[in-house]
């Protein structure tokens, strides 16, 4: 199960285990450092493995090498939606988007 909670975190299933991606300034800087949030969203839509690993690692406060195997075993299609939501949270200072902002 993957979903966004009302606290601004994103729950993902990573290699069969529930994990919570937590927005933080540090995570935002890591993700934005990949040439901007929009570029990361594009990379996720292109199924760029390294982008998935970076977003998961940033949200978990881990190093990419610590999560890459779990990301691969989970499969990119299973992570696309929640990781895209996470990037949007990071771009919005960790706050869920308001209905007027979505869409």
d(CA 61, CA 63): 7
pTM of the model: 0.89
Query: Model confidence over 43-75: pLDDT tens digits?
Result: 999 999 999 999 999 999 999 999 999 999 999
Structure tokens at 72: 């691969």
List helix spans (H) across the chain. Answer: 25-32, 37-45, 49-60, 64-74, 80-91
d(CA 101, CA 95): 11
Bridge partners (DSSP) of residue 20 are 11
pLDDT at 10 over 60: yes
pLDDT at 99: 73
d(CA 24, CA 28): 6
Q: In the predicted model, what is the mean pLDDT of the chain?
A: 92
- pLDDT bin (cut points 50, 70, 90) of residue 19 is very high
pLDDT at 2 over 60: no
């Amino acid at each position: 199960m993957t979903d966004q909670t009302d606290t601004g975190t994103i729950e993902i299933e990573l290699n069969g285990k529930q994990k919570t991606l937590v927005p933080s300034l540090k995570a935002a800087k890591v993700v934005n450092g990949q040439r901007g949030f929009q570029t990361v969203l594009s990379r996720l839509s292109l199924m760029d493995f390294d982008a998935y690993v970076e977003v998961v690692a940033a949200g978990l406060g881990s190093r990419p090498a610590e999560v890459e195997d779990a990301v691969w075993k989970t499969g990119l299609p299973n992570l696309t939606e929640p990781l895209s939501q996470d990037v949007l949270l990071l771009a919005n200072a960790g706050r869920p988007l308001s209905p007027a902002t979505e869409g």
